Structure 1
Amino acid sequence: MNKIRIPNQRAIIDRRVIVAKIDALAAGDAASARPEIVAVLRAALDAGRSELARRLAQKPSAGHECSAGQAFLVDQLVRLIHDHVVGRIYPVGTRSTGERLTIMAVGGYGRAEMAPHSDVDIAFFTPTRSAPWCEQVIEAILYFLWDLGLKVGHSSRTPDDMVRLAREDITIRTALLEGRFVWGDEDLYQNSRQRFFAEVVAGTERQFVAEKLAERNARHKRMGDSRYVVEPNVKDGKGGLRDLHTLYWIGKYIHKVRSAADLVDVGLLTPAEYRSFRRAESFMLAVRCHLHMITDRAEDRLTFDLQRQVAERMNFADRTGKSAVERFMQFYFLQAKRVGSLTGVFLAHIDQQFAQTRRRRGFLAAFTARPRELKGYRVFGGRIEAPSDDWFRKDPVRLIEIFQLAQQESLEVHPATMRQADRDSGLIDNKVRNDPAANALFLDILAGRNDPETVLRWMNEAGVFGKFVPDFGRVNAQMQFDMYHHYTVDEHTIRAIGLLNRIEKGDLAEDHPRATKLIHKVESRRVAYVAALLHDIAKGRGGDHSVLGAEVAKKLCPRFGLDETETELVAWLVRQHLLMSATAFKRDLTDPATIENFVGEVQSLERLRHLMILTAIDIRAVGPGVWNSWKRQLLGELSDSAQERLRLGHMRHGRKERVAFKKQTVTGLLGENAHLIEDLDQIFGDAYWIAEPEKIIALNLVQYSVAQSIREQLSIHCEYDEGRGATLVSVIAADHPGLFYRIAGGIHLAGANIIDARIHTTRNGWAVDNFLVQDPVGQPFNETTQIDRIKKSIADALAGKVELVPQLAKRPLPRTRAGAFDVRPRVIFDNKASNRFTVIEIHARDRPALLNRLARTLFENQLVVYSAHITAYGERAADTFYVTDLLGNKIDASDRKQAIEQSLLDAASDRRQAELEDA
């Protein structure tokens, strides 16, 4: 965009030296010397790229210098090739007026902003279509460029063609907008440029702006529609380079500016904003160049496996509570946020300029709408704006007030006022933060009934949010370096608040029926909103963010105006905001001790209501597809059991009563097969009746009865469970050691993931095992081919027809980028979580058939598994097993636990995976 001074250009490429080499090679027959000439040019290209890579290593954030250097390198090669082709391959003594050619760089190459593997976009212009000499020269130039391995986007047109096509196609128009003369006939270039602005641009400014903004919105939607997705696209993502380019294109199209600096002269950016523009652009260009150099290809997506390498190349270092990669990504997102702020201000100015030139027609031509006043602010066209430039300086509390009024009245904050708020946000000091009126206004925004999510996002964009709540400012643009969280901490938090607002309005009743009812039963709705704001407030500080966040809550809640009871509840919710999901997803909900332990921590219905709501919005705000019917079902079961325990002071039924109640319910489900209850009463023990849901019991009893009647040694039944969003796989077979891990291995080989498992043995020695399975993207196995495959795979595994270990080791993870993360295996023993069983929880990197390997290890350590609960958090897996020894006792001896722990760590380790793959 701006002319970048490139120091010591000849160290990148010395055209005179290369010309001498080419002349020497072409002195005889230029055509036969072509391979040697290409070799000289390729060597020059490689040497130039190496020099630019060296310079970037020395100045790793010098994005403008590197990208301009890449364009300079290509310029020189194009000029060398042009002169060689015109001078030696197709020389013409005296050219006619039609035998003229100009080479123009367009697109990113035209801006002189190129990463090492960017496309070389070239437009060739000739005076007329019928010019054989021009066609020969263009073809020869292109072949040379292709032989150098460059990816060339090219067009060949006359000025008349250019005008006609540019009028029809906005992509062509945008590319030509950035046209830059490279070599050839300069008069032809100037004539083409003049005609472009006179015959294409003039009169189409409004249309161009509208189409570029529509194009931008479509691109954002395709890329995730948030500048805070944790694997951003540096070029095309929201807040990325393309957004900066769009500003430049619009400014250039409307005001004919020649560089980004000229945007200041025409009033579209202030000098300070222009400096921000350049800093953000230079940083992102540097990141893009590093990506190309690391991957040796045109890679623009900052994926997890590349983030670490780019952070290291750009000299980011670890700090307490934050790794180098997290600090790098936080800086990246701050730049993307700045781009978003610039875009809003810029487009508002464009809108105003168009409004001033728009002429009124018809009956209302003489009518002028008048702005209204709202508490001193000017409201016009659905926007609220500050009445003067010193408005916030006179009273900084107004920096909060304007957003409160915007939320209350459903108004948009005028972008010019957003710019003002951004500029003056530094006025928010401790006096403002502790002002009761300012805090009351903030709480009105946070718990507002209209659209707090949008208004809080505006506050965040303007820098007001982080200044008023410095603890929130600390997590601003902070990335969570894992594959589970899709957004930065601040974006996740604001989305959670938006979800809470939508649940309260009833907009999400289908997905969150329970939370939709509970939010209207809580004693203090503002507790729910403040807890949503603060639940992740202490991330990135080192230590347990839940414990540290509770301390932050105790400090902030009184400041916000919450009373002592509300403050205590918010602090508890922040400290325990992971309790409900951990219990629901990693513990056996049919075990009475699970409910007792959970209720012992929750202690009140009010806490339970709030915790259920907070858990739901926290999970859903993680990212698309994370909330599903399986999680909703588990949380609902836990909520119902805990509510019953809290209301009655005890469980409604003892063990005997619970079994009798289950049998009565199952009798109704069985219908004409109700006799099976009595027929099989002595076969299935009480533990089975307590552990399984009524619907699954009914299915198991019928399946067992049929299998016995036809003397079937292996019975496999698969059925879609809509309520759980998964497929139930019930396996009935003669019980024998290792049955569980073999079934699990067969299921994994069929391409399914196990999300829950219950293992039972009847009194006459038959295994009745129930698995809930999904495909790798969280959908049920429901197609006939999938069902057939899973049945065959289990049967083959149990019959020994397949070697499980080597076959499972060959299966790749659905997301191989998990290798970018360091997940150290951990094993936790808990003898208090259940009255009957030892609970073993294993945390490890998710990988092919981890459950199979862990289950096999438990078998080899002579443990009996009664249930397994499988949870995945992106690249991390948390598998929980309820076990006893062979005599049905808990595992108490410390040396025994140490031996089991070491075996499980070995099974879960990366080293073990590598050994299996090599076997």
Structure 2
Amino acid sequence: MTKKTFAAAPAGEEEENNIEWLASLDEYEKLVMRMTTPRVKVDNAGCATATRIMVDSARKHGILLEAVQILTDLNLSIEKADICSDGRWFMDVFHVTDLNGNKLTDESVINYIEQSLGTIHFARTKSFDGLTALELTGTDRLGILSEVFAVLADLHCNVVEAKVWTHNGRIASLIYVKDCDSGSSIEDSQKINLIEGRLRNVLKGDNDIRSARTCVSMNGTHTERRLHQMMFADRDYERKPSADSPLVTVQNSVERGYSVVNIQSKDRTKLLFDVVCTLTDMQYIVFHATATTSGEQAYLEFFIRHTDGTPISSEAEKQRVILCLQAAIQRRASEGVRLELCTADRNGLLADVTRTFRENGLNVTRAEISTATDTALNFFYVTDASGNPADPKLIESVRQKIGTSELKVKELPLLCHQKSVRDDEPAVGAGGAVLLSLGSLVRRNLYNLGLIKSYS
């Protein structure tokens, strides 16, 4: 039998085009497609408390991360996971809920999960066409974000999307901007050099023991995965773990030829993603794994090998894995009060808001910036200047200066085992920017991923 070559249908094609494309394949090609395309089943009957998602596919490096990434991008809470690899095949079973601990019932969400996981080999990151991506790393200090956004505003750069993480005295950010005048990406090399130079000076500060880094990114990697990579490259893990660090152990299973990683940590959303992301980017393959939650604790176990099939070979490597996993978990364990800014977008908005934070002694430990339909929806995690919980009176004073109807105090993200009532929760606002139900939350995430045109 002569094998025919064929090209996989591009991700994002309309369903009818995919059907027509599949119909044109001969039987051999269809057999190959069935063997290499993940099989996905979403089951609401097999578990009383969660929706089960089962993925069966050929194993390749990074495919587990892709699956977890799809689920976490929808802000789903993974209560339990079982990963099993047998030879060249794997079966992943995820028990998921929405952030309120409920099963998934929205058919559009379920259909999206089935389609996305079913085309996982062709998974794409969110499209940021027409924007310029800036990568920044440097020394964290009070007010640094205010200075960064002030520089961008002064250079007529409009911030459309951004994520900012801080950890171990370092800051990493991925900022997507467009030119205020043209409304498109920044192509002028002289202006790019000017932006990079001025931001590098801000990030260096006066006493930077490490080099600051700014560059225009052409990477295209998933934003949060890229932030992990940036902080890893910045060696943010090179510090003795604190008393509240997650418990991580690494042992070798000689008889089976695996290294066994055990993690006990406070449970939170995206925990599994952060761990799998780190193991994948450190060039380890996960062959078997379990993840469970009990109360506020999460327990994870991974059987891993290097990509060349060998286990961890030295005590120094074990210690490095432990430190890197602890750092990956703590990067997103945000400190401080979670503030939500929902207001009409305008040039210089972020510079003004973060300057008000700085002038009142509030330090931003993490930030998520997004805009849609001319509305800014931004989240900031803030502490006082010393990293301690901010005085509620100070928070209220800042709200008065920025606008109490625009700046809200929010709870930290709910986990499936936490039930609480949010105070001062606004109704759905203009442009669908404030989203409360699971359906609207997921629609917003689909919009942010570039998969639908509107989430209003």
Give the TM-score taking structure 2 as reference length. Answer: 0.35
Q: Comparing both chains, which one has the higher relative contact order based on Cα–Cα distances under 8 Å and sequence gaps of 6 or more? A: 2
Select the structure that is richer in strand. Answer: 2
Considering only CA atoms, is the larger Rg found in Structure 1 or Structure 2?
1
After TM superposition, the score normalised by the length of structure 1 is 0.19
Q: Relative to total residues, which structure has the larger helix share, 1 or 2? A: 1
